[in-house]
Structure 1
Amino acid sequence: MPLSEEFDAAASYLSNASSLSQVSTAIKLELYGLFKFVTVSHTPNTSRPGIFDFTGRAKWDSWQEVGTRYLVQFDPDGAAQGRYLEIAKSLGWKPGASADDDSLGHGMDGERESTKGVVTGTGVFVSTMSAPKDDDSGTIHGLAITGDAQKLEKMLIAEPSLDLNRKDEYGYTALHLACDRGNLEIVELLLKRGVDRTLKDPDELTALELAETCGHDEIVKILKDGQ
């Protein structure tokens, strides 16, 4: 079944949607599986990654689960696209809306994709997403998302008593958000300031586990080195 224009538009929107910062890992994995089901094949076309490839296995399992769920339906591709659109609408997408022409998504394996790419990433797979809303750009969590390490450092110098471990309204610390988005400089700065790396997000993941899930190897290394 060919991709619908709505599916293309929704995928473009999700590749650059700041609303994904509040999405659980389970939903992000589902979006990944749905996208692969519709655009690549109904089931994974590679063998399941080894037990130590945490990220690869999570992605593979999601894709396989979507295939199992939708292949038994009368119109598998139509049903899968419908579910993808349903999630996109819950995250603010409206039919007729599209991402900016120059906005690009990031694949869950870290490669750049077209604006038709799937979200990955706060997410599992939270890959780099668009900047938070303007009113969040001056907070520690907003800066963790945008990756503005210089501005964050100035903020920490000006406000030395700032609680680095405070969770945002969705249950994420700044360290979680930086690990999710792959913002290495932010992670290094927070670690230098003594942030608590053992705290868990709403999906019961530590910052290290989230970085592993998102495939941010450099961040994983510095988090493990500090253990």
Structure 2
Amino acid sequence: MQCFLQPGVKLGTCNTPKPSFFDFEGKQKWEAWKALGDTSPHQAMQEYIAAVKKLDPSWNPQTTEKRGKENKTGFGGPVISSLYQEEEIIREEDKNIFDYCRENNIDYVTKAIQSKKVDVNVTDEEGRALLHWACDRGHKELVSVLLQNGADVNIQDGEGQTALHYAATCEFFDIVELLLQSGADPRLRDQEGCLPEEVTDSKAITSALQQHSSSQP
């Protein structure tokens, strides 16, 4: 899931999706920009720079803007800071099942699982399952395929986070609904004691999770 932060001087109000679950620095910068609301472009730019420098004192807006001019975004202008860094490009022969999952290569993942070459609940070195990655990237169709092929909807990663934690923090409401319909338990806490409803800024998602929790026996 790519998310690029446009400078306030260009677009003003934050209008890009929330960054990937794993992009911790990016999420902080995105939240700082979003918090500026509808301030004027100039004021937003100044306040954004101040906020980001608090998070990263070494950050240089001139350096990132120069780099942005070399890499245009789909919006047609240079970026100030890329919120999401693509994984290093991997040669086809070096890819593993998680790479194909991140790429949303549904055909490859489905065939690998159904041929028993890959366990649908296989985890990476951080304990993240394919379902975690699909939820993080917003690949709803792939999430559905994984669930249909026996993915554990409540599997927890190395930090105790479920797929619901990932979908909630990335604010994919439709995936949250799909997980709940598939038996995901919103009452499971991660190792820090956080419920899925506590890791999102989306009121709609929080409400859906709370309602589902209250309906559980």
When the two structures are superposed, what TM-score results if normalisation uses the length of structure 1? 0.52
Please, which runs of 5 or more residues in structure 2 have no aligned partner? 1-6, 12-16, 40-45, 184-217
The match for 1:34 is: 32
Query: Cα distance 1:78–1:22, how it changes in 2: closer, same or farther (>3 A)?
Result: closer
Query: Cα distance 1:181–1:38, how it changes in 2: closer, same or farther (>3 A)?
Result: same
1:216 shift after superposition: 1.8
Query: Cα distance 1:77–1:23, how it changes in 2: closer, same or farther (>3 A)?
Result: closer
- Pair member with larger Rg: 2
Cα separation, 2, equivalents of 1:152 and 1:115: 35
The match for 1:193 is: 149
Cα separation, 1, equivalents of 2:57 and 2:126: 21
Cα separation, 1, equivalents of 2:112 and 2:150: 15
Query: Cα distance 1:211–1:94, how it changes in 2: closer, same or farther (>3 A)?
Result: same
SS in 2 for 1:134: coil
Cα separation, 2, equivalents of 1:143 and 1:114: 30
SS in 2 for 1:165: coil
1:179 shift after superposition: 0.6
The match for 1:146 is: 103
CA RMSD of aligned residues (A): 4.5
Contact 1:180–1:210 (CA under 8 A) maintained in structure 2: yes
Cα separation, 2, equivalents of 1:191 and 1:78: 42
SS in 1 for 2:67: coil
- Indicate whether 1:79 and 2:50 are aligned: yes
Cα separation, 2, equivalents of 1:22 and 1:87: 21
Q: Aligned pairs, how many?
A: 163
The match for 2:130 is: 174
SS in 2 for 1:164: coil
1:31 shift after superposition: 2.3
Contact 1:197–1:207 (CA under 8 A) maintained in structure 2: yes
1:164 shift after superposition: 2.6
Identity rate of aligned residues, in percent? 21
1:35 shift after superposition: 2.0
Please, which runs of 5 or more residues in structure 1 have no aligned partner? 9-14, 42-74, 105-112, 121-125
